[in-house]
A = this chain, B = another copy of it.
Amino acid sequence: MAEVQQHIAWIAVDWGTSNLRIWAMGADDQVLAEAASDAGMGTLERGAFEAALLDLVDPYLRDTQVMPVVCCGMVGSRQGWAEAPYLSVPCKVPTGAEATRVASTDARIDVHILPGIKQVKRPDVMRGEETQIAGFLKYNPGFDGILCMPGTHTKWVHISAEEVVSFQTCMTGEIFALLSGKSVLRHTVAGDGFDPVAFGEAVGDAMSRPQTLASDLFALRAGALVADLGQPAARARLSGLLIGAELAATRAYWLGQSVVILGDDKLARLYHDGLAAQGVAATIADVCEITLAGLCAAHAAIKETAQ
């Protein structure tokens, strides 16, 4: 540990609602150590953030050096450690220059929180995704098109001329989790089975008849009771109806556009297949450590400003 500690130049922090993740970084942005905890923003009282951070980073601090700490995510929200005011679209992704510096009790750390991005007309917000976008743009400078970022709250982001032009968020992942876990549909869609044909049909149904979504949902349970709809088909159909409704809502984002889906998991594949059925050939980009790449870009800017 002592040897690693000597080479640590700064700390990168991805601090979301549910989780806290840190990387101890070398001067050339190599990862020397990493750690994580469940001390997400949503679990912490206002005064508890510094202690939660120190729980993870203390082993990497030295009494003789002030360690730069660069954070992104919900830690910068109004309920977080300190509010890092949003940038407003159209704007470049935030660099370290717009970070909010947070006073700490412990003199060994110098904490910077990156801002999120807001959109006032057609209200929307992001915190954390802007750093992923920065990471993506680091690897894909000059990208012009649409980023689709699937997750609990999927973001669709229009990027042009190195700016975030506009974006749109859909709660599709969260609604799927609530309906499949806590609603009357939970038995109907139980299990891990997934029927890809039923998924594709449901995407098409939701896109061609978005107005029937409200009754299509209970029809899943009824279909299981009176028409032998099996769990794998019902689960896939629920997913397809919700992703189809999202594609209907975001048509202006993907129609005739170059779309990159950030993510390499099953969810990214579902968006890919849903778009393919609409004739859109989206690219899936591996998001491994993309947040860290964005934090590295921000740290470089902070270092430059300080010099």
CA distance A210 to B178 in the complex (A): 21
Nearest neighbor of A77 in chain B, beta-carbon distance: B225
Interface residues of A in 153-169 (CB under 8 A from B): 153, 168-169
A251 within 8 A of B: yes
A222 to B119, CA, bound (A): 8
A1, CB-defined interface residue at 8 Å: no
Partner of A222, one of B125, B184, B216, B219: B125
Q: Give, as a whole number of angstroms, the nearest-CB distance from A218 to chain B.
A: 4
**Quick check: B249 and A211 within 8 Å, CB to CB?**
yes
Q: Identify the closest chain B residue to A218 (Cβ).
A: B169
Majority-rule SS of A interface residues: helix
Which stretch from A64-72, A240-248, A279-287 is at the chain B interface? A240-248
Q: Residue A120 at the B interface, CB < 8 A? A: yes
Tell yes or no: A33 within 8 A of B by CB. no
Residue contact B170 to A174, C-beta cutoff 8 Å: no
Q: What chain B residues lie within 8 Å of A266 (beta carbons)?
A: none
Partner of A123 from the list B169, B222, B250 (CB cut-off 8 Å) is B222
* Given A227-B123, A246-B214, A249-B214; A178-B169 close (CB under 8 Å): no
Known: A119-B222, A222-B119, A226-B119. A171 touches B124 (CB 8 A): no
Contacting residues, chain B, for A125 (C-beta < 8 A): 221-222, 225-226
Docked CA distance A184–B125 (Å): 13
Q: Are B212 and A86 within 8 A (Cβ)?
A: no
A223 contact from B123, B214, B222, Cβ within 8 A? B123
Contact code string A196-232 (vs B, CB < 8 Å = 1, else 0): 0000000000000011111111110111011101000
The distance in angstroms between the C-alpha atoms of A118 and B298, with both chains bound, is 60
Task: Check A245 against B213 for contact (C-beta < 8 Å).
Answer: yes
Instruction: Give chain B residues whose Cβ lies under 8 Å from the Cβ of A119.
Output: 222, 226
A172 interfacial by beta-carbon distance below 8 Å: yes
Q: A35 interface residue, CB < 8 Å from B?
A: no
Give the residue name and chain of the B residue nearest to A168 (CB).
Answer: B215
Q: A124 and B249: CB pair below 8 A?
A: no
Find out whether the CB atom of A215 lies under 8 angstroms from the CB atom of B169: yes
B-side contacts of A226, CB under 8 Å:
86, 118-120, 123-125
> Could you tell me the distance in whole angstroms from the C-beta of A217 to the nearest C-beta in chain B?
5
In the bound assembly, the distance between CA atoms of A210 and B185 in angstroms comes to 22
Complex formed: what's the CA distance from A152 to B171 in Å? 21
Determine the chain B residues whose CB is within 8 A of the CB of A171 once the complex forms: 183-185, 214, 217-218
Q: Out of B86, B185, B218, which one reaches A124, CB within 8 Å?
A: B218
- Please, could you name 6 A-B residue pairs with CB atoms under 8 Å apart, sorted by A? A125-B226, A171-B184, A171-B214, A171-B217, A211-B211, A214-B249
**Which A residues contact B (CB, under 8 angstroms)?**
78, 86, 118-120, 122-125, 153, 168-172, 174-175, 178-179, 182-185, 210-219, 221-223, 225-227, 229, 242, 245-246, 248-251
Top 3 closest pairs, chain A to chain B, by CB:
A123-B222, A211-B248, A210-B211
